[in-house]
Structure 1
Amino acid sequence: MRETIKKLTLAACSVALLASCGNQPPKETQAPADLTQYVDPYIGTGFHGHVFLGANVPFGAVQLGPSNITQGWDWCSGYHYSDSTLIGFAHTHLSGTGIGDLGDIVLMPVTGDYKIELGTPEKPEDGYLALYTHQDETAKAGYYAVNIDRYQVKAELTATERVGIHRYAFQPNADAHIIVNLERGIGWDAPVEGQLQQVNDTLVTGYRLSKGWAVDQRIYFAAVFSQPLKNLKLYGDNKEQTEATAEKLKADLDFGSLADGLIEAKVAISPVSVANALENLTAEAPNWNFDQYVADANARWNDELAKVTAKSADPAVLTKFYTALYHTMIAPSVFQDVNGDYRGADGKTYNDKSFTNYTTFSLWDTYRANHPLFTITQPERVNDFVNTMLHIYQQQGELPVWHLVGNETYCMVGYPGVPVVVDAYRKGFTGFDANLAWEAVKNTAMGDGRGIDLVKKYGYMPANSDVETVAKGLEYAVADGSIALMAEDMGKSDDAEYFKKRGENYKNYFDPSVGFMRGRVSDSEWRTPFDPFHAKHRADDFCEGNSWQYTWLAPQDVQGLVELMGGREKFLAKLDEFFVAEGDMGEHASNDITGLIGQYAHGNEPSHHISYLYALEGQPWKTAQLVRKIMSEFYTTKPDGLIGNEDVGQMSAWYVLSAMGFYQVNPADGKFVFGSPDLDEAVIKLPEGKTFRITAKNNSSENIYIQSKSLNGQPYDKPYISYEDIMAGGELVLEMSREK
């Protein structure tokens, strides 16, 4: 499969900007031009969703939002719906991760009596911490506001790509202060060094160096204020000092008594230097028109959401769909200055304006759905994502695993960057060096680290060589299977045969005597004891899952898996059992194993393709039943509306694709397998002015089964639709019925 895409820039969307409104969907059943009114940023801020709440623009470097004082797993984004504490507004956040980091450059407006310490929820007066209620908040795409009762301040936030913009309305004649906290980060993030210098009476600059999940994190900033500073005090470890630098640095900016009580701030960030932060500030936020910045952010979100025009008889479905689409575009985030500078994976500064450099690649999650979705809805960005990954390869010697602000975290298992690059190549993207892409995927797979040397030697990772060996080996096989497809397309027959064989290594973990994937010690010995339900977190053969869930992880070779299990009937019987089986996972099972249907766990990624296997094996009605159940029960419009960790867009991307009616099971074959659409209609805007319309006739909560399909007026009987057919434009009509 190799279709040349000559033009990957979408035609500009004309979006009418209507008056702003709340988070609840309006009464209309068809999404109007202002699609942001269907975005509810609170969805996923409860339970284990871990999503970012605040102001940003699509794929922006800045994620400006509130930070709770609470730390813990459910506060990985810095905010959780259950909380009511506020220590300020940080300019960088992660969305949906299982580890906390970032939370850089925290600003907090204060007045009256306060202390430079944080304080506690029980005794806020011991510091500057404030409390709030959700009635005090407003959250929309590109905008956040909260009334801070302790200080009688209304704080409003918006953003450009690289600039966070604040508006603080103090009471008239109040003694206005802003605390700048360069000590505080989120989760694992610990300060190494902070610096803040006053350049003139309206400008301060500095940096924050920290370590955590990203072991060498550097962020530079320039903050300009609409009012002149009267005084500035610096604190190191909560003690006043005169030095501009400290490990735990805070600053108290005193603006004195203001007649109208209004202060605006523009804070630009850079991964490279203060000078670049200043240049970013000038380029993106040259004036003080806060309301215009809000309107611009709203327009940018509308432009991106309008890539898909959705219809549904149920307004809640539109809210779920557009909020999910919104979530898929928080990251990857821009990691480059307006002048082309960025910090590489080797710590060096590079300048390259030929592409946009990105960061926050949660690839173990997003290779499954979010990146395939991007090839449809974000084709103009796919080349930049791949070019970023290829530059990372050149700088660190392998494709990224989980890259964060210039750091390789090696989080999760496998080499999940490989199928992303292969998928882009095989779908015809030509904005990157194909030969370099081949070099990168092959060399990544031919390394010796992380057990790859054992895979090359034995065809599997012996269970006594490491932890999570089955999960690692199965993920390597998924990626190796994709490399075989790329090699075949490029005419590299020897490589194709070699990696095809490695793509079948999943078979080496399957024990036919028990019918499951399990840890293998040697060619003749399995790890014992064995319990397919057991899921000891990060200390056994699996990663955030059990054998029931990982036994299906061979999307690169579904037919091979069917044969391995003894043929279609046994395969389907085992699949039926999977969706009803109940058993004890153990007291140390991962928090990620949520959203259970039997042993299917929608709250974690290894399960995400499994419901679609029925459709590939001739029982599409079972896929329809499961997909509808998941979309109805595990995605809601409430703050706890995500059944598990958002994982930087993957959970939401699953819903976006499934709501349109299909899902790409094999991450590199370009075949989107049919399920059961949640939307009545979806019109996808494509390059060169084309559109692809998906119409689900007679669709309802009862009519969940696809009775017949037609593509461009012709009967269509395949269980999937190809990427080429989607991108060619046209119309897919699905006749829905309550009959199986």
Structure 2
Amino acid sequence: MQNTLKNLFLAACSAAVLASCGSQPQKESQEQISLTQYVDPYIGTGFHGHVFLGADVPFGAVQLGPSNITQGWDWCSGYHYSDSTLIGFAHTHLSGTGIGDLGDIVFMPVTGDYKMALGTPEKPEDGYLALYKHEDETVKPGYYAVDIDRYKVKAELTTTERVGYHRYAFQPNADAHIIVNLERGIGWDAPVEGHLEQINDTLVVGYRLSKGWAVDQRIYFAAVFSQPLKGLKLYSDYKEQAEGTAEKLTADLDFGTLTDGQILAKVAISPVSTDNAIENMKAEAQSWDFDQVVAEADTKWNNELAKVTAKSADPEVLTKFYTALYHTMIAPSVFQDVNGDYRGADGKTHNDKSFTNYTTFSLWDTYRANHPLSTIIHPDRVNDFVNTMLHIYEQQGELPVWHLMGNETYCMVGYPAIPVIVDAYRKGFTGFDANLAWEAVKNTAMGDGRGLDLLKKYGYMPANSDVETVAKGLEYAVADGSIALMAEDMGKSDDAEYFKKRGENYKNYFDTSVGHMRGRVSDTEWRTPFDPFRATHRADDFCEGNSWQYTWLVPQDVPGLVELMGGKEKFLEKLDEFFVAEGDMGEHASNDITGLIGQYAHGNEPSHHITYLYALEGQPEKTAKLVRKIMSEFYTTKPDGLIGNEDVGQMSAWYVLSAMGFYQVNPADGKYVFGSPDLDEAVINLPEGKTFTIKAENNSKDNIYIKSKTLNGQAYDKPYITYEDIMAGGELVLEMAAEN
């Protein structure tokens, strides 16, 4: 292996002298206004936002950022604004999840007195842990820096898609060391095996195997340094050993006394092998020009943020908008090497250059808004997202539920990949095999696992058969309703009728005597006692919510829900009650139930479409009032500026769409329902040079109601605009007023 590594490394080094080989910003990017200036990565790092803070590029495999020593629910990303501890810089992170994982390959620059242990916040001298202050940090898209006072080191980070760049400025003549920690992960992540070996005086390679949310996670790396290594010590559970492999492996890399005190490191990662990691470095990180890489990362972010040109008289609105847009592009993340290799859901290495393979699919969250947003602003990536899901289907026998680093986590309920695939198919995306897509959605829905056998038998999941049965049944119905639409479009009338009926299974959970969805034990018996406010975490009929919130989870058939509730008048009365109802959810209610307006919980995804139901049923003024309240109060420019988990872009995608003036209620019908725009103008830059402009005339904090609409100069009276109309380009003018 060493000969192969040396040859690859020498090739990379030969190319490195050509600093100009790095990709140059496009001319138009140099001329456009910088949109990254409006992004504040601190937003969402406080409260329960759980967002990633650090350096990355859009959808990149590397998320390089600081890790606190603290572990806990609010540290699922490895960093929380309330903390001040630093154990190093990890190369992978999740953003906004409710479970912690990743945090792989931690680098920490040290000098002077330290010990090969973590230490504690109270006694950092017992290890290598350091403390920092926020005023010593610099954060912006594609770049992170912090002054580490304990070691008098300035650490700077930036990335390409697959390579993390480090620049450490020690004091002149300091005894410079870098600790490499392959034991430490985030949250549930536990080490299984770490390996590190020195190939020559500037190259080390290794891997980290771990078990957590992703039950079999594997990451390989290669690290090249600008200074030669003078020594290397290896440790198992912080005790020195000779071997380079251990369950809890750490290493102390000694660079000796440096005259100028500067060390640069390039760390490439791969899901497959160390050889591939070096090949990734050769392809993406030829230059040692750290500042150039920072500039290129900034350009990449600017190019993606420029998919929407936003205007507002309120600078805070622009900060909220572009930060939200930024957060929607941290994941899904690339999970493939430059040569086309990736680790499949079957644990095998696959090679396919016909598409880009991705990971980190928080589908229970993102099918609602982030994927419908992507069909508008990232049409170049949608086919790859779908192809990734179809390959997962071929490798594991069903579509992904919550896929992470080649592993199915089965987190959350339903089969949420289905609406995403159906939505892409119905919106005209053709870069995937439609017949395979149909096979995948149908076979997944016709399986027997996760309660589907009971669902097919009874039309519902009996409440005594499992937990969260109502949530599962309602989510299955959402997806089944989307399958019916796909079948109809494909001329499969029998399948369309069958899945249309299954999409109406939500009716089997609605008890007309109480006016709510509730657990059903049999055709004649409901679970008792019943409390619509009760929300016991993962031990009841609902998932991260209560009956009040789940009663509205029928976006695939709003007319049917209206009829089920006794008609429009009673439906709207019930909806009014929902937004004012107050009750005790219980001491074990989920932490995700935040951002309450009555029983509406914006901090969790099942509520996200509900404000827009008013607009569909003839009361758009109520939608406008609520949407504006949410955008004003639940999204701010402070570190606690997200009212709940970011959930890999979903929370932010809701804001991005709503700020432009609409939201896709049914995840597979391509209709974006009008609300009340936070922006004064949004120009969506579409393929082929087209643009779609939304102008909110006379928009202000008081003028929140859409008085009239015109599309391309013609009066427009529908409560929604279609995907086709948006993508055709044109101009939508919304005349705003203080009264409806």
Q: TM-score, normalised by structure 2?
A: 0.96
Deviation at 1:713, TM superposition (A): 0.4
Matched residue, 2:556:
556
Deviation at 1:688, TM superposition (A): 1.0
State the Cα deviation string for residues 467-506 of structure 1 (Å, max 9, x = none): 0000000000000000000000000000000000000000
* Pairs within 5 Å for 1:56-95: 56-95=56-95
Question: In structure 2, what residue type is equivalent to 1:586?
Answer: G
Matched residue, 1:396:
396
State the Cα deviation string for residues 97-154 of structure 1 (Å, max 9, x = none): 0000000000000000000100000000000000000001000000000000000000
State the Cα deviation string for residues 341-385 of structure 1 (Å, max 9, x = none): 000000000000000000000000000000000000000000000
Q: Quick one: distance in 2 between partners of 1:394 and 1:714?
A: 47
Judged with a 3 Å threshold, the aligned counterparts in structure 2 of structure 1 residues 506 and 387 are, in CA distance, closer, same or farther, namely same
Deviation at 1:33, TM superposition (A): 1.0
Q: Quick one: distance in 2 between partners of 1:297 and 1:180?
A: 25
Alignment of 1:274 with 2:274, yes or no, is: yes
Q: Secondary structure at the match of 1:150?
A: coil
Question: In structure 1, what residue type is equivalent to 2:562?
Answer: V
Q: Quick one: distance in 2 between partners of 1:274 and 1:125?
A: 34
Matched residue, 2:299:
299
Q: Quick one: distance in 1 between partners of 2:26 and 2:543?
A: 42
Alignment of 1:159 with 2:149, yes or no, is: no
Question: In structure 1, what residue type is equivalent to 2:234?
Answer: L
Matched residue, 2:659:
659
Structure 1 residue ranges without an equivalent (≥5): 1-11, 19-31
State the Cα deviation string for residues 546-593 of structure 1 (Å, max 9, x = none): 000000000000000000000000000000000000000000000000
Contact 1:160 1:284 in 2 (8 A): yes
Contact 1:15 1:34 in 2 (8 A): no
* Pairs within 5 Å for 1:160-559: 160-559=160-559
Alignment of 1:99 with 2:95, yes or no, is: no
Q: Secondary structure at the match of 2:556?
A: helix
Question: In structure 2, what residue type is equivalent to 1:231?
Answer: G
Identity, in percent, stands at 88
Q: Quick one: distance in 2 between partners of 1:453 and 1:164?
A: 46
Contact 1:357 1:388 in 2 (8 A): yes
Matched residue, 2:672:
672
Q: Quick one: distance in 2 between partners of 1:405 and 1:329?
A: 17
Matched residue, 2:9:
none
Q: Quick one: distance in 2 between partners of 1:98 and 1:253?
A: 34
Question: In structure 2, what residue type is equivalent to 1:194?
Answer: G
Alignment of 1:718 with 2:718, yes or no, is: yes
Question: In structure 2, what residue type is equivalent to 1:715?
Answer: A
Q: Quick one: distance in 1 between partners of 2:487 and 2:381?
A: 24
Alignment of 1:45 with 2:45, yes or no, is: yes
Contact 1:636 1:642 in 2 (8 A): yes
Q: Quick one: distance in 2 between partners of 1:125 and 1:180?
A: 18
Q: Quick one: distance in 2 between partners of 1:13 and 1:672?
A: 33
Matched residue, 2:627:
627
State the Cα deviation string for residues 658-691 of structure 1 (Å, max 9, x = none): 0000000000000000000000000001111100
Question: In structure 2, what residue type is equivalent to 1:415?
Answer: Y
Matched residue, 1:686:
686
Question: In structure 2, what residue type is equivalent to 1:208?
Answer: R
Q: Quick one: distance in 1 between partners of 2:695 and 2:657?
A: 14
Q: Secondary structure at the match of 1:151?
A: coil
Contact 1:13 1:303 in 2 (8 A): no
Contact 2:690 2:728 in 1 (8 A): yes
Deviation at 1:17, TM superposition (A): 4.3
Where does structure 1 differ by over 3 angstroms across 4 or more consecutive aligned residues?
Answer: 12-18
Deviation at 1:257, TM superposition (A): 0.4
Contact 1:14 1:303 in 2 (8 A): no
Contact 2:87 2:130 in 1 (8 A): yes
Q: Secondary structure at the match of 1:122?
A: coil
Deviation at 1:15, TM superposition (A): 4.7
Question: In structure 2, what residue type is equivalent to 1:168?
Answer: Y
Q: Secondary structure at the match of 1:555?
A: coil
Deviation at 1:13, TM superposition (A): 7.7
Q: Quick one: distance in 2 between partners of 1:156 and 1:395?
A: 40
Q: Quick one: distance in 2 between partners of 1:273 and 1:566?
A: 60
Structure 2 residue ranges without an equivalent (≥5): 1-24
State the Cα deviation string for residues 271-306 of structure 1 (Å, max 9, x = none): 000000000011000110000000000000000000
Q: Secondary structure at the match of 1:350?
A: strand
Q: Quick one: distance in 2 between partners of 1:402 and 1:44?
A: 22
Q: Secondary structure at the match of 2:388?
A: helix
State the Cα deviation string for residues 596-619 of structure 1 (Å, max 9, x = none): 000000000000000000000000
Q: Secondary structure at the match of 1:556?
A: coil
Q: Secondary structure at the match of 1:233?
A: strand
Question: In structure 2, what residue type is equivalent to 1:182?
Answer: L
Matched residue, 2:731:
731
Question: In structure 1, what residue type is equivalent to 2:598?
Answer: G
Q: Secondary structure at the match of 2:185?
A: coil
Contact 2:29 2:303 in 1 (8 A): no
Deviation at 1:436, TM superposition (A): 0.1
Question: In structure 1, what residue type is equivalent to 2:585?
Answer: M
Alignment of 1:141 with 2:150, yes or no, is: no
Q: Quick one: distance in 2 between partners of 1:36 and 1:608?
A: 27
Deviation at 1:404, TM superposition (A): 0.0
Alignment of 1:572 with 2:563, yes or no, is: no
Question: In structure 1, what residue type is equivalent to 2:492?
Answer: K
Matched residue, 1:129:
129
Contact 1:233 1:251 in 2 (8 A): yes
Q: Quick one: distance in 2 between partners of 1:195 and 1:605?
A: 40
State the Cα deviation string for residues 77-115 of structure 1 (Å, max 9, x = none): 000000000000000000000000000000000000000
Contact 1:362 1:402 in 2 (8 A): yes
State the Cα deviation string for residues 47-83 of structure 1 (Å, max 9, x = none): 0000000000000000000000000000000000000
Q: Quick one: distance in 2 between partners of 1:503 and 1:432?
A: 25
State the Cα deviation string for residues 4-25 of structure 1 (Å, max 9, x = none): xxxxxxxx9865448xxxxxxx
Matched residue, 1:705:
705
Contact 1:102 1:189 in 2 (8 A): yes
Q: Secondary structure at the match of 1:502?
A: helix
Q: Secondary structure at the match of 2:693?
A: strand
Contact 2:308 2:682 in 1 (8 A): yes
Contact 1:592 1:603 in 2 (8 A): yes
Q: Quick one: distance in 2 between partners of 1:703 and 1:523?
A: 50
Q: Quick one: distance in 2 between partners of 1:728 and 1:16?
A: 25
Contact 1:194 1:247 in 2 (8 A): yes
Q: Quick one: distance in 1 between partners of 2:149 and 2:679?
A: 42
Matched residue, 1:8:
none
Q: Quick one: distance in 2 between partners of 1:479 and 1:625?
A: 30
* Pairs within 5 Å for 1:605-624: 605-624=605-624
Q: Quick one: distance in 2 between partners of 1:514 and 1:610?
A: 20
